[in-house]
Each structure stands twice: as structure tokens, then as C-alpha cells.
Structure 1
Amino acid sequence: MSTVASLALLYGGLAVTGASAAERKRADTAAVASDAEAPAGEPQAKAPVEAAFSTGVAKGRDRLDSATSTSALRGDEIQKLSARTLADILRNIPGIRTESSTGDGNSSYTIRGLPLASGGSKFMQLEEDGLPVLEFGDFFNVASDIFIRADFNLAAVEAIRGGSASTFASNSPGGVINLISKTGDVEGGAIQVTTGLGYDTKRVDFDYGTKISDTLRFHIGGFYRSGEGPRNIGYNAYQGGQIKFNMTKQLGNDGYIRLSGKYLDDRSPQYLPGAVRITGTDDKPVYSNFANFDLRRDSVLSPYIANVIVLDGSNNPTSIPLSRGMDAKVASVGLETQFTVADWTITEKARFSKISGGTTRNLVANIYSATALPASLGAGTGTFSYATGPKAGQVITNLAGLNGNGLIAATSLNRIDASSLDNFTNDIRANRAFKLGKGEFTVTGGVYKSIQNLQSDWLYANILQDVAGDGQSALINYTNAGGVAQSQDGFLGFNRSGSTAFYRRKYDVQYDVTAPYGSVNYHIGKFSVGGSIRYDMGKVTGQIYGADLGGGRIGMQSFDFNRDGVISVAESKTAFTPLSRPAPVNYKYNYISYSTGINFRVSEPFAVFARYSHGARANADKVLFSNKVSVTDGSMPNSDDGYDIVTQLEGGFKYRNSALSVNVTAFLANTEDTNVQAGAITTDRKYRAYGVEAEASYRHGPFSVTGGMTYTNATLKSDQLNAAVAGMTPRRQPDLIFQATPQFEVHKFTVGANFIGSTGSYTQDLNALRLPGYTLVNGFIQFRPVDRVQLMINANNLFDKLAMIEVTQPSVPANGVGVGRATNGRTVSASLRLDF
């Protein structure tokens, strides 16, 4: 049987006839690309043949015949990675950097040192079955990964970095990650139940696929889960599931038509930065936990901070449970077909998705030592008391000894409420191969169309809470020395902060994208040379609302939330949306992307390639509420502000034989980035990054190992708004990231480990305070006592490492109190699987 080495090897090498159910499941994984057309006249390979790689390219090809840098993770092998989230899975792909400590969604992703100024995936497109989940992967706090799940439906994850990604998908100059669903090629199914050992999670996964006839097949699968999750927050934070279905009708030898559907209704918590002790020096800082708050397994979430109390997007009072977390509702239907007309292969993909949800969270603004509170909080004078929790009403007499750490957090409770992220996407292409001399000339042309809605409300309140682990944090009231309550039930105001309506916003915008594209490729002997081009045309229309827009727009008022007839100090600070004063949005942008490459298959197992690409990414909601879009007529005076350009030069080699696979790519990228970083700090920057990425796999008998590394030298070349950062290394950008998965597999059991690591980086762009590097170890054991039954134990962060992902402070604070985020601590789960 194939092992982890088959992530890049032996993709189609498993015989199906007479195989066990588990083997048939793996074969179904290997068959994922069966609908992709292989290039005509491809020479018979003497080395093992990979199935065609089809993501971000004109047509499916063996990776050794393509001038691109690609990777694939296959089906059941992903379970061995002990991944708890999609971001945990994707960090096993070379070249991709993920910051995966926020929970199931809103993680940050980038490729090859391209900027990661804020959350989501700006330069990398997340796709599901070849079409984007959202047209823009970095919508503020409603990123693509909230609305996609990895479960037993997943046949493979394909990734293309750079290369033709910029011309075969919109808004993806850095690369494309494509989650590919099983389609019932191989009959059989599985059901698996999973429980946490030492933490609260309960989950069931299932899938089943079969042939109804020789030309008709289907696949169905999904999951349901419930539990508190990997951190101690005191309530059931994970709840929901997904079901997906597809049916495929085969049309002749190379055609098919497929109908697919998906329903996702799920919620999960977002883990945000909390208190961390920082001592030492900027060059050699020491990060540690405060008493009664473990950054690996605690959170500022708590059942005693139950609701976000605000005016909703229509300015009516509402109380939103904090337990809603990141909630996603997706109902989608898709149609995909491929057929041949006059030797032209036509491929059509279309999907409509009705998407809603959002993010409910508490974002720590500042953490104070209780003996050093600011003047706005009485500087330690007046009276503090518990507003919620088991000690509600009790006066806090010893602030310095509070919870053993003496800390109080000023926190922004917020709900980014996305009432509609509905989108329609369609991609139709045609390609044909012609004989030209002694070679083959392939022509591809297509048109991509996308309509993406963004209807969302930003709702903020601000509170005081203590810093306590195990889900015990409670709201705190403050009464000044004159006896006047400055808070109400723990709320300092029903806005983001102070006495302003900052960040109280409403978006009602539609993005309409049309992109014709084409490519040519000539393959003669050992050489293949080609190029592709794409012309993106975008139209952005709608309205935005908010006091941030200026022009006399007012966003503050008083509102009697507790209906006692008296306006408290906190109630006098209520933000509302100026619904009668919208600002129009009405602008267009267009840009050309192109890519050209050459591939030389030196010998059957060895190829070298080079490629140059010029692409771009349209700026979505991040340029709204900025001076780049007129609040008078909605125009964009400088059309270049509508997109950021990425140019990339890459080259490398690929080697593959029956035991060993090695792929190495050197790269150079220049990038523009217009973004929002840390609140309202707008950035207008240029970056440069160069380096090398490598992946390899080796198999000998029952032993196999796969691994990868990416070395990146990234520089922030300039910022029109902050010249001081020129020449600096972008924040949180390490020089080296790496991953490796060795394993030993025999008939009855498999044992192995997954290593994920990073060298150090800087917490902020001014390059003072260091973030230390780390290596995380995930372990797994699979035991198969009888045919069709498997027991698996896996551990994430096996050695319970405190691995810092993010720190707010630019240098070591004098009082040692910082705000930071770390990976989850050790979690161990057990799974029982039955194949049938």
C-alpha cells in the first residue's frame, strides 16, 4: 500500500481489484484527477506516473511536463497529520506560511514571502473543486476558510505556487489552493467517530460512493461535531456540520456531467490574543504565562461574557451571544461538465453559493497591570467590582492580587455580521491539441465570470474583564472616586472605544468580475514552452455607511439599553449607523496578467523549468473607507488603486523515481500591497522576497518520509505612509519554515510523526522585538486489528510547546505585560473507523 510518500509519488499506482475497503478508499483518493484530460501523445513513462495535476493550469499534466511549482496532499494521508483545522493541513505544503492559532477560520495565509499585512489570504485563492469559495479571501473577519471544511469528502488538496495561477484564476497571483472532492470513482464508504482524550470534542465523519450503472455514479459525505474544543472556555463552542453530494454521468470516453451540492451549518470559536509575560531583551525575549492564564489552552472567551450588547445594523437594540463565534451557513449547488466538439475539449464549471455568517469575538485592546491603570480608568482609584460570574456584585479589594496576576483587560466585543456573501462563479474553457511539425501545439481559451456580494455590519462594544483561565473571566464594573458609575454591567460603552463611532460600519457592495483568458503551449521532444494571458475587468457598486466617512456623518448617540429611564455614562457612548447618509461605491478597474515558461525534460525522471509571471490582486473592502475611493460619487480617481501587482521569476528542477521524489524551486517576487493593519493603519507598500522552496519524499519498504522547507529573504522596500519601515523585514516573516513526516507502516499498524517548524521573526515591522522560532511535533498511531476496522490515536503539539504566533508589542514592555497569541497546547484524540 502507498504511504505518506504517495503525497507526491505513486498517485495512481494502487490496484483496485481485490483490495480491501480501506485500500479502495485510498484508490478513490488516487483517482481524483481522472476527469482531467492528459496531454495527447504523452510519452510512456519509465518512472512512476503521476496523475495529471489540474489546478491553476490550462489542462491536466504530469508535473514533470509542466513549468510550474505544484504540490498535492492526498485523501486519507491528511488524517495522519493530526491537523485540527484547514490551516493545520495547509502548513504542510512547502512555500505556504499559515498563522493557524485563531481556530477553524480567519487564519492568515501567504506564499513565498508575499505580504501578510492582515488576516485571510489576500494573494492566494482558496478554491473548492476548481472555483473560489469567496472571490476575495481577505474580507475583514469573514475570510474564505470560515466557509469551507475538510472532511471525508476530501479526495485531495492541490496547490500551485506562482506560475500560471495568475492567469487561470482571478485574484490569485501568489497561488491557488484547491480542495477536490471525491466523486464515487471507487465503490465503498467509511464512518468514523472521534473523541478528545483530555479535551472536549465529539465528532462523526462518514462518506459513501458507488456506481449506479456503468455510466452513473455518486458520492455523499459529511460530518457533525460538538464540544468545548481545544481550549478551556467554559461552554460548548463547536457545534454543527456539513453534508456534500455529487452525481456524475459519464459521457463517452472523456466526457462527463456532474451535479453537486453542499450544505454547511457550523460554528466555532475564534481565539484571539491574550495576556503573555514578556521579559528579557528585544533580541532575546522570554515569553511565559501569567498565573491562572495559560496562553496555550486558555482564552479571553468565557460564559460570563455572554453577549455583545449593541445596536444592530438597523439601529435596533440587540444582544448577540458571544458563543456564536465564527458561524457559517452555506448552501451551494454546482454544475460541471466536459465534452468534445470537433476535437475541442469544452469544460464548464458553475456554482451558486448562498453564504451568510460572521464572527463574534472579544478582541483585547490593552492589558493593564491593575496598579498601573490609565487615568481613563481611574488610575487605580475608585471602586472595581465584578459585574458577572459567581462573584457578581462583590467589590475587588485587592487589584494587585486579582487572580494571582493582577491584570485587567480592556476588550472590544464585536460582531462582524455578514448577512450576505452570496456569490455566483462560472468558468468555461476550450482547448485543443494540434500536430505541428514533430510536436504538439495546444491552444486554450476561456472566460471566467464572478459576482460576489458583501453585505455586512460591524458592531462594537467595549468592556472591562479580568484575566482568568479555565473559562472563568468575568466582566468588571468601575465606579469613579466621585461615586459615578463609569460602566454598566461591565460595558464601558456600546461602541468600539472612547466617545467615537470609529469602526461602526455597514457595507452593501457587489463585485462583478469578468476575465477572458487564453494560453498556448508547444511540446516537441523534451521541450515544452508556453504562455498565458488574462484580462480582469472588475466593477464595484453599492453603498457604504459609517461616521468614519466624515462629511458631517454622526455616529454617536445615547440609548437606554437597560430601560431604566436613566442614561448612564456607558449608555451615552452608543454607536449607531448613519443610515440616511450613505456614501456611494461606483468604480471600475482592469488589469492584465501574463505568464510564460519553459520546461525541459532532461531524462525520464528529471526535468528543469523556468517561468516569469505578472499578475495582480484586486483590492476589495480594504480600500473602502479610505481616501482611494471618493465618498461623493464612489469613484476611484486613480484606477491603479483598484489592484496590487505581483511579479514573480522562478526556476527549478524536479526528479522522480520509484523511491525518491525531489522538487526544488528558486523564486523572486516583487509585490505591491494596499492594506489595513492593526486597526485603522492603512499601508501602501512595496515588498521584495527571494528564496528557495524544496519538497522531497522517500520510501523504502515499510518506511517513508516526506518533507519540505522554504527559505525566504523578504524586505519591505517602501511605504508611502510610513517611510520608517523601508528596508525592514515584514513582521512575523521567518527566514525558514519547514515540515517533515516520517512514518513506518505494516499491515496491522502505522506509526509516525509530523514535524512543523519555523525560525524566528520580528513582532512588528520596525524589527525590534523578536518572536522565537519553534518546532511542533504531532504524532499518530493507526492500528488495524481486523480488515475494515482502524483505531487511530493522534496528538497535536505532542510536547505541549509554547509557540508564539503573534505579539502586539514592538519591544519588551517595561511592566512585562504583553498581548500575544500562541498555538494550541497538546491535544490528543482517538478515532475508530469502519470501512465498508
Structure 2
Amino acid sequence: MANRVRGIWLILLASAASPLCAQGITPALPPRQASNDDVIIVTAVPRGQNRLDSSISASVLSPGQIQVAAPRSAAEMFRALPGIRSESSGGEGNANISVRGLPLATGGSKYLQLQEDGLPILQFGDITFGNADIFLRADLNLQRIEAVRGGSSSTLASNSPGGVINLISRTGDREGGAIQLSGGIDYEEYRIDADYGGRIGEDWTWHAGGFYRRGEGPRKAGYDAQRGGQLKANLTRKFSNGFVRVYVKYLNDRTPSYLPTPVRVTGSDHDPRYRSLPGFSVRDGTFYSRHNRAQRTLGADNRPVTDDLGDGMHPVVKQIGLEARVEPGEGWTISERFRFADISGRFIAPFPALVGDAATVAAALGGPGATLRHATGPLAGQAIAAPAGLNGNGLLAQNVVFDTRLNQLDNITNDLRAIRDISIGEARLSLTGGLFLTRQRIDTDWTWSSVVSEVRGDGRAALVDIRTAAGVPQTDRGTYGYGASFFGNCCRRSYDARYDIAAPFAAFNYGHGGWTLAGSLRWDNGRVRGRVAGTDLGIGGPATSPVDVDGDGAISAAEARSTATPAIGAPVRYRYDYLSWSTGVNYRLAYGTSLFARYSRGGRANADRILFGPALRIADGGLSDRSAAVDFVRQAEAGLKYQQRDLALFATLFHATVEESNFEATSQRFLDRRYRAYGLEMEGSYQVGGFSITGAATWTHARITRDRVTPANEGNRPRRQARVVYSVTPQYQGALFTIGANLVGTGSSYAQDNEGLKLPAYAQVNAFVSVRPTAALMLSLSANNLFDVQGFTEAEEGSIPANGIVRARSINGRTMSVAAKLTL
């Protein structure tokens, strides 16, 4: 059936070689570089400002520039932004994203905030199993992406001292829209995108759009692992002195989360050679499987439930917002942004706690002489007579299923600000005052289980049963324990906490001649209330307790290893406050040239990642160490900006010191550290005739300066921090076609903070070509990772283990797609 559907798509689209990035963004033609007076930044600044007059590092991506990179996820889009470190190996979400010089000690985007239309998607970008990019989709609604690194992001938004990436939507100022059909050539994804907008009379504009898709996705899961879509719409009423806009969003989408998979590593830690295992490719393999969908576990109420592993990352967002701006006169501007987002969903994915040869795993779990048999799939019940030859690699994986329910991540946010512009002779003074209010709910249940799986990457991996030499079952249809048995029975958690933040802020901007002086302050006040329960707290009973999961009246070995949520929990009750500030100066040397310098100090309040750590007092819910509530980032920047019509160059020197209090779920480690980094960020573009080239590069020197938990790490380079990351994009635009390529590369880095095992450098090439046979029709072909390279973004091991099996995440292998877009 899948081949038949693929054939229909190819017949429809093969009239020309043609693509789309999976995000559904294919503009008519990539735009020429804007003139220096056209690039107005509205993100993390008091008001819209020309970036040549601002003392911040900022960049803008249009849909045309995004198209060249052929991205398959939001994280891959962000790789085109200078100074942004985006590890795009996790699928549609769950990416690790940071800003130049700031660490990625765990997951998500701790110091970087992701926004839509000027307000945060989530107030904390690294909620465990609820990273902000999981709840983000880009489609034809997207007008542009703005990114601010450092600078005023510390004071014009909360919890974003590293920077802000803002996805800005179309609002119907231009009449028209498009319908687009797209599909994978060498992978299964079939998608329709549509949008339209325009005017209603003289004073109203509207825009609406969205997408729906279905398919297996870029890795082999054996079923439609991607299914769902998004709808967005907005309506604007314009007045002579302002506007009011209402917007809505509905997102309901399922996509797999690609966690680490096994890879063979030979050589030495400092000169490793990575290669795929027989039967399991690191480029397109995953532990998701058609033979491992039904996941039995204990629900939040400790009653047996069966969850669907195929849910993967399943965000459900129902959102409504309001934006208004009015200019009452005498230099005043008042703006208001409000949003309420009803957010829920789940995160369920298999994580390999250990991968080893089948006989060793059998003996470890079932004792000497233990036997194996297939538990699921077409061979269910059959004995595995020759474990050493199983699937050509003879391996089994002890997987912990991260079965997490995101009950509520609701977010309500309001940003009110008043601006007064004053003329003082030839000088210009702008004063801003505002109040930011938000409430972030984090209501989550961790109901994990442990299974034994084949190491097979074609979407047909089966679970495996283990019996003792006497024939006593140690597993139930592949389940070894109804809890995190392979993680020492940890991580049975249930927590519901509410984070209220009130942040008054003020800013000034003074311009005279070629000089612009800027400064801003923000005072964040946080109030945290809630309750936590879990085995990690050490109260409420034993880590494991027998439960008759299958209801047969007997307790099996696996049921004896059940983990229940304790009835006794602990309160969460503490407050925090901190002051952030930023100041900078910019000087226009000439019409298209400026110099700037800035120093900033910003804070990042910690959320759920410290709830089960040593900082929380069990008795009253306060913090035994108040410094754990907030981590501070200090940044100094100085740079050059040069932009003419066909040539642009932006260079920024940076220095940062960072505090880190954190927890990593996969390794069960708490972190208490400080870092220091400095380096150079560069961005440039050149255009002559129909040819253009853009590029960005960041050189970073980073070190761990203090580590209270593991002092031996002090002086080491932080894990996964390459010295150089870069991207180069040449393209040629003709009258009827556009062709281009995008090179994204990174230098080598260390897998862990011990400076042991290295992650090799790699360079990924993406390419696209589009043709326009008529004015309204565009056909395109794109390739992501054209040369099918393997590029590792992370690894769990700090050195090569004795069996040579490392658990690592690689970028996806080559995927090619076609698209046909009809402009309306």
C-alpha cells in the first residue's frame, strides 16, 4: 500500500524535479539582500530598530533563505542562524539548542528562548521531556525568523540571557496564498500545506494556514510515525493610530523522538572510527518498531495501562492571543501582547540503557544457562537457537521506555509596555517601561518501563523474552520490569508545579549624530507552588512493589519489579528574584557601517530539573541552597556591522561566564558548575547578478572553570562544544529556476566532559532546485544530507567501552523530497 501511495505522489509531482523542506516553506524565489535601512529587528528590543543602529547581534531569515537548507525540523532551520548551536538529531523536536559560548549540559534550550510572534512558546525551554521546540511547527504561515544573541535578550524577556529566536507569522498585509503538495522520494512523508490572507475592506486584514501530513518519517519505524498537523489564523483591525490583532493556533501532531542508538566504535578515544552495526544503520535506524507499539506499564494512579509507543512526541496546543498597539500622540506608543496556551501531550520513546551481545544480556538478566525467544512479531514464541547470529549482529538492547505524560504545560503570558519618544534638539531619546506577567504550569507523570529488544533498525525489531535455565520467565512479552529497572528503579515521578513570574522592566535609547546609547533593567520575581512525589525523593515506601499487571492472580518476575508512585510526596514552595541589566553603545561610521559594544548580565530561573535534587527541602518545599533557583550569565560583546546592497559582513567578539545547576534524565546526574567562553562570530553575504552566497561561522574557546560534583572536569572543554561551526550557502537564481546548496559543518568535540571519547567533525550538504513553468506554479526537488554522511551530535559514553558499542545520536541520512506549489 505504501509503495502504491508513493507511486501516485510521484506521478503527480514528477512533471519536474522539485522539493520542499518538510517544514512546508517554498517561496517563489529567494529574495535579494535587503538594504541596510530595511532590516528592522522587533525581537528582544523595546521597539523595532534598524540593526545597524542597535548594539546587539541580530539576524533575520526569510522563507527563501530557509528553503536552501532543506530543513526537516525547526532545529535544522536554526542551524542557518549565526552563533546558534542547534543539535538537530532528535527528530521534529527534542533538539538541544544554545547560543555561542553557552553550554549544553543537558537537553533543550536552557539559556535560549523560542518565541512565536514575540511571546514565549514555553517560559522554560528545557522542561524535561517538554522542550519548547516540540510545540513548534513552521509552515506557510511563517513570514520570517529573527534571532538575537545576548545583549538585550537578558532584559526584554525572562529566562533568556543567551538569546531569543522569534518566529513571526504572516498577517495578510499582502493578498494571496498558496497550496502545496509534497512527498518524500526515498522516505515516506506525504504532506499538504495551504495558506491565504488579504484585506477585508479598508481596515481589516486576515491570514490563515496550516498543514497536514502522514508517513513513516526519515527513519524506518515500520508504521506511520508522523501523523497530524497544525492550523493558525489571525485577524487584524487597523486604526489611524494603531491596530488590534487576534490570533489562534491549534497543533495536534505525532512525530518520533530519535534517542541514541548503538554504533560500533574502534580505534582510540582521541581517534575513533564510527560505523553502523550489521542490521542497524545509525543514519536511518531507530528502536521504534511495528512489533513494539503496545507498551504496558503502571499509570499515574498505579493501575495497569497500555500506552502506544507510536505516540512519540505528541504535542496538543490550543492557543489564543491578542496583540495591540496604539500611538495616542505626543510621542507615546503603548503596546500589549497577551496569550493563553492550553498545552498537553506526551513523550514516549525507547532509550538504550545498555547494548550487549545476546548471550551476555541473557545471562545477566536470567542467570547462567538462560534462554531467549521472540516475544512479539511474526516469530513470537519461537526460541532463538543461535543468539550470536541474531539479526547479523548478535546484540540485544536493554531499553528504558521514557513513557511520560505531559498533563498540563499551560502557559499564560502578558507583556505590556509604554514608550515615550522625546526630541532633545538634534538628539532622540526613547524611554520604555513595561510589566511582564506569566504563569507556567508543569504537570507531568513519569511512568517508565524496561524492555528487552532486538537491535534491528528496519522498523521490525521484536521484543525478546528471557527464561532461566529452569524455564522460569523473567520477562512478560519482552517487559523486564514495570519501572526503570535498567536505571536502578529510579525516576518514578509525578509533579505538578506552578511558576508565577512578574517582571517590571525599563529601557532607554539615546541617539545623537552617529551615536546610539542603550540600556535596560529587568527585575524578575518568581513564585513557585506545587507538589512532587516519586521514588527519587526517598520517602513514601520502597522503590519496587509487586503489582498484578496482567490480572491473572499471580505475580511474575517482571511484575515483582514494578515501580509505583508513592502516596507520600513533598511540597514545593519557594520564591526567588533577580536583577538583569544590559548596556551598549553603537556608532555609525558611515551609511552602511557601524561599530558596537555591549555588556549584559541576565538570569535563568531553574524549573522542574531541580525538583528532585539536593536543593529541595523535603520538609517544607523550600530551597536549601537559594543559589540553585537562578543561574546567571554575563556576556561582553563588541563587533563590526557592514552592509551595502550586494555585500554584508557582521563580526562579533564575545566573552561569557555562565552558572549551571541542572539534572540530566538519561544519566541521572545533577550538575553544579561554572563555565567561561570567548570567541568570534561572523556572518556575511555577497550577491552579483543572479548568484549569491551567504555564510556564517563561530569560533569558540570554552572551559569548565568549576565543577562541585566532579572537580576532575575543571579545565576541560564542555562536552559537545566544537571549536568551529559553520554554514555556507551558494545559489543561483535565473528567470525560471533557482538552484543552490547549503553546507553545514562542525569541528570535532568531546562526547562527555572528561575529554575522553571524541565526536568526529563532519560536514553535511543540502541541495535544492526549483523551476517555475508558469507564473503560478513552482516545482522543486530538495535533498537533505545529499551525500549521506554520518554526523554525531552526542554520545552517552565518555570512552570506548570494552565491547566497542557506543550509544550515540547521528543526524539523519539522505532524504529527498519533491513538491508542487500553486500560488493563489
TM-score by length of 2: 0.95
Aligned match of 2:291: 304
Q: Which residue of 2 aligns with 1:34?
A: none
Structure 1 residues 58 and 648 mapped into 2: Cα distance closer, same or farther (>3 Å)?
A: same
The aligned runs of 1:43-442 (5 Å cut-off) are 48-252=36-240, 254-342=241-329, 343-373=331-361, 376-378=364-366, 381-442=369-430
Letter in 2 for 1:198: D
Q: 1:353 to 1:117 in 2, by over 3 A?
A: same
3-state DSSP of counterpart to 1:732: coil
Of 642, 653, 658, which residue of structure 1 is paired with 2:645? 658
Match for residue 635 of structure 1? 622
Cα gap change, 1:169 to 1:30, in 2 (>3 Å): farther
For 1:29 and 1:624, the matched residues in 2 are separated by 48
The corresponding residue for 2:598 is 611
Structure 2 residue 503 is the aligned partner of structure 1 residue 505: no
C-alpha distance in 2 between matches for 1:620 and 1:182 = 33
- The equivalences for 1:555-634 within 5 A come to 555-579=543-567, 581-634=568-621
Tell me, in whole angstroms, the C-alpha distance in 2 between the residues paired with 1:434 and 1:26.
42
Q: How far 1:350 moved relative to its partner?
A: 0.1
Structure 1 counterpart SS, 2:274: strand
Separation (CA, whole Å) in 2 of partners of 1:294 and 1:569: 33
Return the alpha-carbon distance in structure 1 between the equivalents of residues 572 and 37 of structure 2: 51
Tell me the secondary structure at the aligned position of residue 551 of structure 1: coil
Name the structure 2 match of 1:514.
Answer: 502
Deviation of 1:676 (Å): 1.3
Q: CA deviation at 1:380?
A: 6.2
C-alpha distance in 1 between matches for 2:266 and 2:487: 34
More moved, 166-175 vs 480-489 = 480-489
Aligned equivalents of 2:494 and 2:649: distance in 1?
50
Q: Is the 8 A contact 2:605 2:631 kept in 1?
A: yes
Whether the 8 Å contact between 1:28 and 1:182 is mirrored in structure 2 is: no
- Calculate percent identity across the aligned residue pairs: 43
2:465 pairs with 1:462: no
In structure 1, distance between residues paired with 2:679 and 2:367? 50
Q: CA RMSD in A?
A: 1.8
1:700 maps to 2:692: no
Counterpart CA distance in 2 for 1:350 and 1:203 is 32
Cα deviations across residues 151-203 of structure 1 (Å, max 9, x unaligned)?
A: 00000110000000000000000000000000001000001000100210000
- Provide the secondary structure at the position in 2 that maps to 1:323: helix
Out of 742, 750, 760, the residue aligned to residue 754 of structure 1 is 742
Alignment partner of 1:529: what SS? strand
1:484-533: CA deviations, max 9, x gaps?
21111111100001596410000111000000000111100000112100
- In structure 2, what is the equivalent of residue 40 of structure 1? none
Alignment match, 2:431: 443
Write the distance in 2 (CA, Å) between the matches of 1:77 and 1:817. Answer: 39
- Residue 782 of structure 2 is aligned to residue 794 of structure 1: yes
The residue that corresponds to 1:710 in the other structure is 698
3-state SS, counterpart of residue 489 of structure 1 = coil
Q: Which residue of 1 aligns with 2:3?
A: none
1:540 Cα deviation after fit: 0.4
Match of 2:481 in 1: 493
Query: What is the letter of the counterpart of residue 165 of structure 1?
Result: S
* Inter-partner Cα distance in structure 2 for 1:496 and 1:424: 34
CA–CA distance in structure 2, aligned partners of residues 416 and 137 of structure 1: 17
Amino acid at match of 1:404: G
1:41-94 Cα shifts (integer Å, max 9, x gaps): xxxx9x642242110011111110000000010124322320000000001101
* Structure 2 CA distance for aligned equivalents of residues 635 and 363 of structure 1: 33
Contact persistence 1:373–1:380 (CA under 8 A): no
Does 811-820 or 826-835 show the bigger shift?
811-820
The one-letter amino acid paired with 1:399 is P
Q: How does 1:820-835 map to 2 (within 5 A)?
A: 820-835=808-823
Q: Pairwise mapping of residues 656-735 of structure 1 onto structure 2 (< 5 A)?
A: 656-677=643-664, 678-735=666-723
The CA distance in 1 between the partners of 2:75 and 2:768, in whole Å, is 19
8 Å CA contact 2:36–2:52 kept in 1: the answer is no
Distance of 1:329 and 1:367 partners within structure 2: 33
Q: Give the unaligned 5+ runs of structure 1.
A: 1-22, 32-44
Report Cα offsets for 1:537-556 as digits up to 9, x if no partner.
00000101112111344442
- Aligned partner of residue 473 in structure 1, secondary structure: coil
Counterpart of 1:163, as a letter, is G
Q: In the aligned structure 1, how far is the partner of 2:759 from the partner of 2:56?
A: 33
- Partner SS for 2:391: helix
Contact 2:28-2:778 at 8 Å conserved across structures? no
Is the deviation greater in 481-490 or in 720-729?
Answer: 481-490
SS of match in other structure, 2:41: coil
Give unpaired runs (5+ residues) of structure 2. Answer: 1-24
C-alpha spacing 1:546/1:650, structure 2 compared with 1 (3 Å):
same
Q: How many aligned positions are there?
A: 798
1:377 is displaced (CA, Å) by 2.1
CA contact 1:748–1:783 (8 Å) conserved in 2: yes
SS state at 1:373 partner: helix
Q: Distance in 2 between matches of 1:185 and 1:26?
A: 17
The 1:48–1:732 alpha-carbon spacing in structure 2 relative to 1, beyond 3 Å, is: closer
The answer as to whether partners of 1:513 and 1:539 remain within 8 angstroms in 2 is yes
Q: Aligned equivalents of 1:603 and 1:201: distance in 2?
A: 50
Are positions 1:645 and 2:632 aligned together? yes
- Indicate conservation of the 8 Å contact 2:601/2:635, yes or no: yes
Q: Cα gap change, 1:275/1:84 in structure 2, threshold over 3 Å: closer, same or farther?
A: same
Counterpart check, 1:550 vs 2:517: no
| Secondary structure in 2 matching 1:667 | strand
